[in-house]
Amino acid sequence: MDLAITDTLALTMRDDRLGILENATIAIQDGEIAFVGPTAEFDGDADRTIDASGRVAMPGLVNVHAHTDLTLLRGGAQDVPEIEWMNRALGPLTEALTPDDRIAGARLGVLEALRSGVTTVGEYAANVDRLVEEVYEPAGVRVVAAETINAVDDAAADLGPDEPYPFNETQGREALERNERLFESYADHDRVSCLYGPQAVDMVPPELLDVIRDRAAKHNRGIHMHVAQGEREARQIAARYGAGETTVSVLADLGLVSDRLLAAHLHGATAAERERLAEAGVRMAANPSSIAAIDGVMPPLVDYREYGGVAGLGTDQAPGGGGHDFLRELRTTALLAKTNRGDPTAFPAWAALRVATIEGARTLGIADRVGSLEAGKRADILLLDLEHPSTAPIVSDPLHTVVPNLVYGANTGLVDAVLVEGELLVQDGTVQTIDEDHVLETATERATAVFDRAGNAWREADSALVDRVETGWL
């Protein structure tokens, strides 16, 4: 036995509950969980032992939707009307990013995620192979990568919101072929999985969406797409497909409403459309902090789960939502769900922990490997220190207060150890696979240069933030 984590309070996520085990041992062999059960029943001989008394062990957290390559732009696009966010606030900044800037941003985003207990990220980016090779593989973090397939021509920047985007079909086809090469490169990789990534129905011509649908069916692959993500998209759909058409109606006409689809956002869909998607097996990626910041609404996570749909949590991107701290995202989600419903019982702590782990793994299609602590699954494990001011005191009778205290009080200071495939990526609260000081220094240098290069274009775009600068608020 390579490693035994002993005398811990384990939240295994087995069956349909949290699978709480006191005084538990988790044994690991060759990157796989070999034993989970009471310490008194473990009789193996481990090469190394971690005494995890005073700690809780649980599956590593699963971030189902993130654009970490935009992390250098944190703070650059928020507090503006939704219709301005993409083209007038964020657009001038993203246009100033170089490929190396995106790598630096992804390193910072993955570092932040890892420090908050994340072991899997659903990464969504153009040229995502570089992020996988230069960021995820060196860091040791599991990734489900989707190549952004976007056919919108650069000329769209000068159009009004009700003018259909012009398409560059060559651009879209080239992105699809990059996606195909991604599948080929990582067909048998332990920590890397892949999905198709058509960005959105309004950003990819229907003929290309037909090709993606057919290839996904032929090769038994999934599709990760932004779906019904607000007013801007709704106006584009109406302009291209006609009044009365919606993102979901177009997806249905194209034969894309199926259990192959992972749909990010959905706040622009009607209740009936969400129910239809859930019944069809479409999985949902909810990004509450991002959508609250961009659209001022809470994604329909609670509704979707009530319809029987599978859903996970994502952090989306740093410029709007603030970053990739998943423990913060978990608390934000739980609280926004309650205020959105006007119901303090909505999205309780125990549901939040399952969505953050096993249901997130199901959302990404990797629950056969990760998401719960069970013999035979890969050893992606999080250890959290319970003896911390933000969560103490912890009691186990008459209830386990560890459950609400983790959701409503946990922060990155609790993260003691993070393992992926049995490898310690974080040990004693210190990241082992990333030079944190270098990542932070590089990020600051590159962000300063990006914002400087983008300055004139950002001012000319004249988003609401420009007025805030001119009136002395920023």
Q: Domain span at residue 341?
A: 61-364
Q: Give residue for tokens 């934000």.
A: 332
Strands of the sheet with 283-286, listed across from one edge: 61-66, 118-125, 142-149, 192-198, 223-227, 261-265, 283-286, 311-313
Residues near 285 by Cβ (< 8 Å), separated by ≥ 6? 64, 65, 122, 224, 262, 263, 264, 265, 311, 312, 313, 314, 363
DSSP class of residue 256 equals: -
Please answer whether residues 34 and 375 qualify as being in contact, where contact means their C-beta atoms are separated by less than 8 angstroms.
yes
Assigned domain for 31 exists: no
CA dist., res. 43 & res. 282, Å (int): 43
Assigned domain for 6 exists: no
Please answer whether residues 185 and 169 qualify as being in contact, where contact means their C-beta atoms are separated by less than 8 angstroms.
no
**Helix 169-185 / helix 206-219 crossing angle, nearest 10 deg:** 10
Assigned domain for 353 exists: yes
Residue type, 62: V
CA dist., res. 8 & res. 52, Å (int): 5
Query: Which H or E run includes 253?
Result: helix 247-253
Assigned domain for 407 exists: no
Assigned domain for 441 exists: no
Listed in order, strand segments (DSSP E) in 94-227 are 118-125, 142-149, 192-198, 223-227
Assigned domain for 2 exists: no
Q: Give residue for tokens 């032929």.
A: 218
Strand bridging mode 381-385 / 415-420? antiparallel
Assigned domain for 377 exists: no
Residue type, 112: E
End-to-end Cα separation, the chain, in angstroms: 56
**Mean pLDDT of successive 10-residue stretches along the chain, which has 474 residues:** 96 96 97 97 94 97 98 96 91 96 98 98 98 98 98 77 90 98 96 98 97 98 96 92 95 98 97 98 98 95 98 96 96 97 98 98 98 98 95 95 97 96 97 98 98 97 95 97
User: In the chain, how many domains are there?
Assistant: 1
Main-chain phi, psi angles of 192, to 5 degrees: -120, 125
Listed in order, strand segments (DSSP E) in 314-453 are 381-385, 415-420, 423-427, 430-431
Main-chain phi, psi angles of 446, to 5 degrees: -70, -40
98: domain CATH number is 3.20.20.140
CA dist., res. 127 & res. 306, Å (int): 36
Assigned domain for 177 exists: yes
User: Do you know the residue count of the chain?
Assistant: 474
Tokens of 447: 């962000």
398 preceded by cis ω (within 30°)? Answer: yes
| pLDDT at residue 155, as a whole number | 66
C-alpha 252: how far from its chain's center? Answer: 25
CA distances (Å), 245 to each of 18, 238, 241, 252, 319, in order?
41, 6, 6, 11, 30
Q: Give residue for tokens 């085990």.
A: 21
CA dist., res. 289 & res. 457, Å (int): 27
